[in-house]
Amino acid sequence: MLEIIKQPWPWYVAGPLIGLTVPALLILGNKSFGISSSLRHACAMCIPGKIPFFQYDWKKELWNLFFVLGIFFGGVTALTFLANPKPMQLNSALVKELNVYGITDFSSLVPVDLVRWDKLLTLPGFIMMVGGGFLVGFGARYAGGCTSGHAIMGLSTLQWPSLVATISFMAGGFVMANWILPFILML
């Protein structure tokens, strides 16, 4: 059984399983799927100030914090017990292109040459880690939710703003991966 869990699951199995979270959440408690709102709930719980954005009954959304903790501990469990000891298998054309930018260590899920503490102190590292983190947070707040909330929950409930947000996320990802990231890596 453990060997089945360790193998990559095909899209036609993993996709429907992820998609079934939407009706499960709606049927079991009329809840919406999303991750970025959990930061708001945590802040509302921990910050006793009179900031209007955090003045709501966060206790009704406590399930969402447990959901996010489950994702975190699920990731830790997977990394600890289900990790594949073999090196990442990448397309040879991608490896060749990344070598141009000095990215050669693919021993981790994310290229080690990109995510290291000493890289944070370089201009490209600062732009990608700090600037990218800020833009993701800003974008999730501006769009009224994160990619998972809009693409999984919003599209399945036929919400027009989620379609616009998902198209924007995909277009932004395409632009970033193909035009902006190569420019940053050349700095």
Q: Residue 176: which residues within 8 A CB-CB, separation 6 or more?
A: none
Which tokens is 140 given?
């999730």
What pLDDT is attached to residue 180? 92
Rounded distance between C-alpha atoms, residue 130 and residue 136, angstroms: 10
pLDDT at residue 172, as a whole number: 92
With tokens 């709102």, the residue in question is 37
Average pLDDT per block of 10 residues along the chain, 187 residues long = 79 90 88 84 85 88 91 91 80 92 84 83 88 89 86 90 93 93 88
What pLDDT is attached to residue 159? 93
Terminal alpha carbon distance of the chain: 47
> Which residues fall within 8 angstroms of residue 142, CB to CB, at 6 or more apart?
none
pLDDT of residue 66: 92
- Own/partner pairs, 15-22, CB within 8 angstroms, 24+ separation: 18/152, 19/152, 19/156, 21/152, 22/152, 22/153, 22/156, 22/157
**What DSSP character marks residue 102?**
T
Contact present, 64 and 38 (Cβ < 8 Å): yes
pLDDT at 69: 94
Amino acid code (one letter) for 75: G
Structure pTM?
A: 0.76
78-94 burial, b for 16+ CB within 10 Å, e for fewer?
eeeeeeeeeeeeeeeee
CA distance 33 to 155: 11
Going from N- to C-terminal start, the domains of the chain cover: 1-83, 116-187
